[in-house]
């Protein structure tokens, strides 16, 4: 398995991680036993970077990961989890909440230390310096090893980095969501911060297996997202169709091409596609064998210049960026 290093502290992880949210929430019903089988298989295949949060299933996902990592598997992974959300719409970035949440996550995971601990969203009412200071205290206490942030502005990231080295920034980034390229990615390069794209397959749509939101069962989070609503989706599927045509010429799947494109954007980038299927996991791993030439990358970039996805990232009530 290819490896990459995140941040100044050079946290080494597999070049492709595994996002675990869908095993507990967001994308319809999941089966714990199948999820654990997928987690075990991922570790066997060398995926060493697992991503979870105390928000996912309101603790269920961390308990699930804890079960999957029992025994010798713990030493084979870099585990990332997050804190900050009190519920689906309220954020608490106070030092008191962060430290309490860390203890709760450690208990659910059955671990003594968290490898990479993110602030899931910055709190608009708490200076980021106070929040990161609490994370630094957790590092000193030996409860976490590395600090991460998620979906913050460049200004907030700069302020945070003055308090303690930030190992990774996590934001949505894909052929459907290229906003980080304008400011966050250059800043991560400047500050030597690793970048972890979540939803690198645009919640499954870049795989080409979906054409409309009506395919999803009731309660599936994707039904709410602006990019997936009728008029927006019709436009955005142009990118998917181009990807499918390109992937056929390349001899790979659309999902593999989408991941290979992300991997080619920089050595400090480690995508974390989510899946609870061994079949899809194998497909994602295959992206590591897809190599894009400079000409091919330029062709995809030229296409994106005239075919940007439309629609907000989240509904207005889920806008937490600070």
CA 280 to chain centre: 16
CA nearest neighbour of 200 among 171, 235, 165: 171
Residues in the chain: 322
Which pLDDT value is given to residue 15?
Answer: 98
Q: Specify whether 56 is catalytic.
A: yes
Topology of domain 3-318 in CATH is TIM Barrel (3.20.20)
Catalytic residue among 27, 56, 118, 198: 56
The 8-class DSSP code of residue 314 comes to S
176 three-class SS: coil
**Where in the chain are the domains?**
3-318
Which pLDDT value is given to residue 319?
Answer: 58
- Full pLDDT tens readout for the chain, 322 residues: 999 999 999 999 999 999 999 999 888 788 999 999 999 999 999 999 999 999 999 999 999 999 999 888 999 999 999 999 998 889 999 999 999 999 999 999 999 999 999 999 999 999 999 999 999 999 999 999 999 999 999 999 999 999 999 999 999 999 999 999 999 999 999 999 999 999 999 988 898 888 887 777 777 888 888 888 878 888 888 889 999 999 999 999 999 999 999 999 999 999 999 999 999 999 999 999 999 999 999 999 999 888 888 888 877 666 555 5
Which pLDDT value is given to residue 318?
Answer: 64
Which pLDDT value is given to residue 322?
Answer: 56
Contact 177, 155 (CB under 8 A): no
Name the pTM for this structure.
0.93
User: What is the Cα–Cα distance from 133 to 92, expressed in whole angstroms?
Assistant: 14
Mean pLDDT of the chain: 93
**CB neighbours (10 Å) of residue 148?**
26
């Amino acid at each position: 398995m290819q490896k990459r290093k995140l941040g100044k502290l050079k946290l080494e992880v597999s070049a492709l991680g595994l996002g675990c949210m869908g095993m507990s929430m967001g994308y319809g019903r999941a089966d714990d036993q199948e999820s654990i089988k997928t987690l075990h298989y991922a570790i066997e295949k060398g995926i060493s970077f697992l991503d979870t949060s105390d928000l996912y299933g309101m603790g269920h996902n961390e308990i699930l990961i804890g079960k999957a990592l029992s025994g010798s598997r713990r030493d084979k992974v870099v585990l990332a989890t997050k804190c900050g959300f009190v519920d689906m719409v309220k954020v608490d970035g106070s030092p008191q909440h962060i430290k309490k949440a860390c203890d709760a996550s450690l208990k659910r995971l059955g671990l003594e230390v968290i490898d990479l601990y993110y602030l899931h969203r910055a709190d608009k009412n708490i200076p980021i310096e106070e929040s990161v200071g609490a994370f630094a205290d957790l590092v000193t206490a030996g409860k976490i090893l590395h600090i991460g942030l998620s979906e913050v502005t460049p200004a907030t990231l700069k302020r945070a980095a003055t308090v303690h080295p930030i190992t990774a920034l996590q934001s949505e980034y894909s052929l459907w969501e290229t906003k980080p390229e304008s400011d966050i990615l250059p800043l991560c390069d400047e500050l030597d911060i690793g970048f972890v794209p979540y939803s690198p397959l645009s919640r499954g749509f870049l795989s080409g297996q979906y054409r409309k939101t009506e395919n999803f069962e009731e309660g599936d989070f994707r039904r709410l997202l602006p990019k997936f609503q009728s008029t927006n989706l019709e436009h955005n599927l142009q990118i998917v169709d181009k990807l499918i045509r390109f992937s056929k010429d390349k001899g790979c799947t659309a999902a593999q091409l989408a991941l290979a494109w992300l991997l080619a954007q920089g050595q400090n980038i480690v995508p974390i596609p989510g899946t609870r299927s061994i079949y899809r996991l194998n497909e994602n791993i295959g992206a590591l064998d897809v190599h894009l030439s400079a000409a091919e990358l330029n062709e995809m970039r030229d296409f994106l210049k005239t075919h940007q996805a439309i629609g907000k990232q989240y509904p207005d009530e889920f806008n937490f960026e600070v």
